[in-house]
Amino acid sequence: MGPLKWALLGVLLSASLFAIDSVELRRNQPTERISGSAGDVLEDDPVGRLKVFVYELPSKYNKKILQKDPRCLNHMFAAEIFMHRFLLSSPVRTLNPEEADWFYTPVYTTCDLTPNGLPLPFKSPRMMRSAIQLISANWPYWNRTEGADHFFVVPHDFGACFHYQEEKAIERGILPLLQRATLVQTFGQRNHVCLKEGSITIPPYAPPQKMHTHLIPDKTPRSIFVYFRGLFYDVGNDPEGGYYARGARAAVWENFKDNPLFDISTEHPTTYYEDMQRAVFCLCPLGWAPWSPRLVEAVIFGCIPVIIADDIVLPFADAIPWEEIGVFVDEEDVPKLDTILTSIPPEVILRKQRLLANPSMKQAMLFPQPAQPGDAFHQVLNGLARKLPHDKNAFLKPGEKVLNWTAGPVGDLKPW
């Protein structure tokens, strides 16, 4: 009876251990599996689930622009360029457009840079329009669906609204020609003109090699409670505050500038990445647009992101359960930020850190060269694959026309 009892106990114990597969031990660091609203899809392999046809546009739409200004490869809108390169050599690419599920148009709309490096979106609508006119004239696939099975990467501030100022962007709205297409963009805000239903939100581009060279040993204790580096007032464009970041960043500064727990300032230290790895919380407030590369940096460095942006839609929101990973603070609750953060129970904080430590989470935020499994390129393809099969009203009957080719501001109709 004795040995039998022990055997039974042993079996029960091992069974229970196998059941706790939510805690994997990798390199001595327990992580947790991440599953969002679409299920456990972060590690899906898109190969075999969809086929993408890449249009061959003349190089004036892509290569020549890049040659004129190679800075486009390093700024936070570089995703459009790297997506093109990835698709050209990806196994999901097909050279036979008849069997393609999705069509990609490689047009670099965010590569017209000022001397400072900021992209000017004034010519982007015309460029996009010209590209669409080209593909609808030379291939029948655009007219077949009026773009419903096409996708475009528009990583600029307000996506396909093609303006950096929110009021102007709202006025313009999404480019009418892209009304039926799927947009892959960094901008995401609920109930906003510039976020179309069915868009895929991606993280802004952050250079993976640069971040990986600044890693510090895991055992360095996290001694900074809240960390933030960046502007609080945009004195150039909004001197008295209130417009920039809807006053949220200014509120953070005014309320917490002398609080020892908040390491916040406008400096540009060389140890920015190292400091993030020594912090427990990293603030990711909105700026002129709600998204920022800080989210990507916080995830890579294991710092819990504190997102202060009302109604924001975060990257890959259906694959990543952001509510469980980050802390969301309403802009009106900013004065109570310290109370909010200190009232989070330590177990919840440790769980968030475990989720952040999951390598597939970090991988999903990056655009590495060359592409690696589970990275942001694959998440985009997974997102596109999840939208298949196409709706039946995607394919138009012959002669049916939905798009208005002359809609939009007069300036957009000029040829590019």
Partner 1 sequence: MKLSALQQSYLNRRSNSFRGSAQLDSAADGSVKSPAAVFWLVLHGVCCLISLVLGFRFSRLVFFFIFSTSATNLYTAPFRGAAEIASHLDVRSTPVTGAADRVVVGRHGIRIRPWPHPDPVEVMKAHQILERVQREQRALFGVKNPRTVIAVTPTYARTFQKLHLTGVMHSLMLVPYDLVWIVVEAGGVTNETASIIAKSGLRTIHVGFRQTMPNSWEGRHKLESRMRLHALGIVREQKLDGVVMFADDSNMHSMELFDEIQNVKWIGAVSVGILLHSTDSSATIQREGEEESTPMPVQGPACNATNKLVGWHTFNSLRYAGRSAVYIDDRAPVLPRKLEWSGFVLNSRLVWKDVDDKPEWVKDLDELDGAGEEVESPLSLLKTTSMVEPLGNCGRQVLLWWLRVEARSDSKFPAQWIIDPPLDITVPSKRTPWPDAPPELPSNEKMSDGAQTQDQQINKHSTKTKTPRTRRSRTKRRHDTKVIGVQASTLSVSEQQN
State which of positions 304-343 bind partner 1 (CB under 8 A).
Answer: 310-311, 331-332, 334-336, 338-339, 341-343
Q: How would DSSP label each residue in 307-361?
A: EE-TTB--TTTTTS-HHHHSEE--GGGGGGHHHHHHTS-HHHHHHHHHHHH-HHH
How many residues contact partner 1, by CB under 8 A? 52
Q: 161 vs 177, which CB is nearer to partner 1?
A: 161
> Per CB under 8 A, does 280 bind partner 1?
yes
Q: Which stretch binds partner 1 (CB under 8 A): 33-41, 99-107, 129-137, 239-247?
A: 239-247
> Per CB under 8 A, does 359 bind partner 1?
no
> Per CB under 8 A, does 197 bind partner 1?
no
Distances (CA, A) of 280 to 30, 345, 360: 17, 13, 20
Dihedral Cα 384, 389, 394, 398, nearest 10 deg: 130
Q: How would DSSP label each residue in 278-309?
A: TEEEEEEE--SSS--THHHHHHHTTPEEEEE-
Q: 16 vs 28, which CB is nearer to partner 1?
A: 28
> Per CB under 8 A, does 247 bind partner 1?
yes
Q: Indicate the DSSP class of residue 109.
A: T
Considering only 39, 91, 117, 242, the residue that binds partner 1 (CB under 8 A) is: 242
Least separation in angstroms between residue 17's CB and partner 1 is 19
Q: How would DSSP label each residue in 132-155?
A: HHHHHHH-SHHHHHTTTTEEEE--
Please tell me the number of Cα atoms within 13 Å of 80 on its side-chain side.
28
Q: Which two tokens stand for residue 193?
A: 């003109």
> Per CB under 8 A, does 261 bind partner 1?
yes
Per DSSP, which regions of 19-81 are E strands? 23-26, 29-32, 52-54
Least separation in angstroms between residue 330's CB and partner 1 is 8
Considering only 3, 115, 346, 399, the residue that binds partner 1 (CB under 8 A) is: 346
Q: 40 vs 218, which CB is nearer to partner 1?
A: 218
Q: Which two tokens stand for residue 151?
A: 């996708």
CA distance 9 to 13: 6
Per-residue interface string for the shown chain with partner 1, residues 153-192, x marking contact by CB under 8 A: -------------xx--x------------------x-xx
Q: Which stretches of the chain bind partner 1, using CB under 8 A?
A: 28-30, 166-167, 170, 189, 191-193, 217-219, 221-223, 225, 237, 239-243, 246-247, 250-251, 254-256, 258-261, 280, 310-311, 331-332, 334-336, 338-339, 341-344, 346, 349-350, 353
